[in-house]
Chains A and B, each alone.
Chain A
Amino acid sequence: MRKFFPVEDLARDERFNKITMKDRLGDPRSVFTIGEPGDAKKAKFRLTPERRDASDGARGLMHGIFVGEIQALEGAGRTCWDFETDVEAPFALKLDMARQCWDEARHVEISVKLSEWMGTEIGQYAENTVLFEAACSTDPVLRLAGVNRALEGLAIDVFTTMKEFGDMAGDPYLEFCEDWMLADEVTHVKMGSDWLRKVTEKDPERRKKALEFQGVVDKLFSYGGTRSESDESPIGLARRFRELAGFTDDEVETINELSLQALEERKTAVVKLRDADQFAQAAAGE
């Protein structure tokens, strides 16, 4: 069986449409049409039942969770196989990745059922494959940093937002299922935190590299301010659960700052684009 599987070769049937981060970054549209960078008046996009498009927003996010679970399963599975036991990766690390595969497989099934409950078909939304891309590193420690700490960390934020949504809307299934999956995600992040410290205990350079990679993935997933403590972001930052997963206060604060910075950058880009568009329209009118 081949090692280091490229993202382009992931098996998907005709229901799925894969897109890359490049496609997403190439979309010039933005939801930020009201507030401008630094404005006191800020639009609220946090996913709560009060939002007019709450049901569709929750459906879209749930589908994102579903495809994320598939890729997390594929990523953890690759880590079990791609590295030589006790030479490149300890046996116990692989055992944790095997346990994670079992968790992710259950999460996929739960997500399918939840999607049906919410009226979403499999493949109804485009699948961003960036999670698996982060799982393609040739260093298992970088995978743990990028996937288990950055992306599973994001999953903690997403599940917390969805759990709160289910609770507020009175949806018993959504609230219950998200709570169970959230508990698993905290464990996955904790595994990543523990193994990162253990494997790089005597290799500070490798640890530094892994944490830098985690920062890159965190920034990438904060693109457009999708996740931050600001109400302008659809997804909040789940500080308490991140602490339980082994993040230090400083690390959580860094992610928060990174997310807010990404939000402001996106708003600045939108204003620039809008100004350029208005300039082009004015020029065409002349």
Chain B
Amino acid sequence: MPITVTPQTFSYVSFDAATIERIASDLVASLGMAEQTINISVDETTPLARTVIRLGGDSIDIHADSGAFEDTRKPRQQSEVTTATSLGRVLLRARDRQGGGFGEAPPDGELSLAQIAAWETYSIGRLEKLGVPVNRQRWLYNFRNRHGFSDASDGAFEQLWDSDGLTWGELCAISDRAIAATRDPA
């Protein structure tokens, strides 16, 4: 199924649409999502790094700010690793929602910061297993910021990072237990 990238040429940043398409193509193949139509639009007017997904009937629409694909070492240049990480995160979230077990998950805009961090930890851990280079400490720091700086929080991070096949309920339970244990250490 096709993958489309807009715009095809960039003027604010030095990104390459063909590279984005290739990375997305490799990811959807690895994630078993090759039957899906993927539409990726990049807002090159902002350096922010937000990514938003919309799930249609047969397609997944991804809207990314340019910072989501940018090389922080070289402003306005594209990073293949950052592109893969950003796309991989949202594609896994889409696959979770489509695959069952995540039916109770609120829409992305209504997720709490702790839920987002937990889901991202779960997603990045799976991306690492696929061979995408990730900085584990970065995601641990992100998780701690949302669940507290405690041993219980670190334990929950490990559990999510190493997991596969979780349901929304299981993911939330791990997140909630970590927050409760940080607030009320035994």
For B49, B144, B145, which residue has the most chain A Cβ atoms within 10 angstroms? B145
A261 contacts partner chain B, Cβ-Cβ < 8 Å: no
A85 contacts partner chain B, Cβ-Cβ < 8 Å: no
A23 contacts partner chain B, Cβ-Cβ < 8 Å: yes
Chain B residues, CB < 8 A from A126: 72-75
Chain A residues, CB < 8 A from B13: 29
The verdict on A49 contacting B145 (CB below 8 Å), with A29-B12, A119-B137 known, is yes
Are B138 and A29 touching (Cβ within 8 A)? Answer: no
Chain A residues, CB < 8 A from B168: none
Interface residues of A in 97-124 (CB under 8 A from B): 116-121, 123-124
Are A29 and B73 touching (Cβ within 8 A)? Answer: no
A52 contacts partner chain B, Cβ-Cβ < 8 Å: yes
Are B12 and A125 touching (Cβ within 8 A)? Answer: no
B97 contacts partner chain A, Cβ-Cβ < 8 Å: no
Q: What's the Cα separation between A125 and B142 when bound, in Å?
A: 18
Q: What's the Cα separation between A31 and B182 when bound, in Å?
A: 34
Are B116 and A52 touching (Cβ within 8 A)? Answer: yes
Smallest Cβ distance from A204 to chain B, in angstroms?
42
B139 contacts partner chain A, Cβ-Cβ < 8 Å: yes
Are B76 and A55 touching (Cβ within 8 A)? Answer: no
For B46, B48, B137, B141, which residue has the most chain A Cβ atoms within 10 angstroms? B141
Closest B residue to A116 by beta carbon equals B137
A170 contacts partner chain B, Cβ-Cβ < 8 Å: yes
- Type the 1/0 row for B74-112, where 1 means its CB is closer than 8 Å to any CB of A: 111000000000000000000000000000000000000
Among A29, A58, A119, A123, contact of B135 (Cβ-Cβ < 8 Å): A119
The verdict on A17 contacting B73 (CB below 8 Å), with A29-B12, A116-B137, A119-B137 known, is yes
Are A119 and B73 touching (Cβ within 8 A)? Answer: no
Are B141 and A59 touching (Cβ within 8 A)? Answer: yes
Among B48, B76, B138, B182, contact of A119 (Cβ-Cβ < 8 Å): B138
A171 contacts partner chain B, Cβ-Cβ < 8 Å: yes
Among A29, A117, A123, A170, contact of B47 (Cβ-Cβ < 8 Å): A29
The verdict on A119 contacting B141 (CB below 8 Å), with A30-B45, A171-B149 known, is yes
Q: What's the Cα separation between A58 and B135 when bound, in Å?
A: 16
Chain B residues, CB < 8 A from A121: 135
Interface residues of A in 52-73 (CB under 8 A from B): 52-56, 58-60
Q: Summarize A's interface: helix, strand, loop or mixed.
A: loop
Q: What's the Cα separation between A29 and B12 when bound, in Å?
A: 7
B44 contacts partner chain A, Cβ-Cβ < 8 Å: yes
The verdict on A124 contacting B72 (CB below 8 Å), with A118-B138, A119-B141, A170-B148 known, is yes
Q: What's the Cα separation between A121 and B12 when bound, in Å?
A: 27
The verdict on A33 contacting B74 (CB below 8 Å), with A52-B113, A119-B137 known, is no
B140 contacts partner chain A, Cβ-Cβ < 8 Å: yes
Are B45 and A29 touching (Cβ within 8 A)? Answer: yes
Q: What's the Cα separation between A49 and B144 when bound, in Å?
A: 11
B66 contacts partner chain A, Cβ-Cβ < 8 Å: yes
Closest B residue to A117 by beta carbon equals B141
A255 contacts partner chain B, Cβ-Cβ < 8 Å: no
Are B75 and A55 touching (Cβ within 8 A)? Answer: no
Smallest Cβ distance from A208 to chain B, in angstroms?
36
Smallest Cβ distance from B148 to chain A, in angstroms?
6
Are A53 and B48 touching (Cβ within 8 A)? Answer: yes
Q: What's the Cα separation between A59 and B144 when bound, in Å?
A: 14
Are B149 and A31 touching (Cβ within 8 A)? Answer: no
The verdict on A59 contacting B75 (CB below 8 Å), with A27-B47, A54-B145, A277-B45 known, is no
Among A30, A125, A171, contact of B73 (Cβ-Cβ < 8 Å): A125
Smallest Cβ distance from A55 to chain B, in angstroms?
4
- Type the 1/0 row for B131-158, where 1 means its CB is closer than 8 Å to any CB of A: 0000111111110110011000000000
Q: What are some 27 contacts across the A-B interface (CB < 8 A)?
A: A17-B73, A17-B74, A19-B75, A28-B45, A29-B12, A29-B13, A29-B47, A29-B66, A30-B46, A33-B46, A49-B145, A52-B113, A52-B116, A53-B49, A54-B145, A55-B142, A56-B49, A56-B142, A59-B138, A116-B137, A118-B137, A123-B73, A125-B72, A169-B145, A171-B144, A171-B149, A274-B45
Identify the A interface with B (CB < 8 A): 17, 19, 23-24, 27-31, 33, 49-50, 52-56, 58-60, 116-121, 123-126, 169-172, 273-274, 277
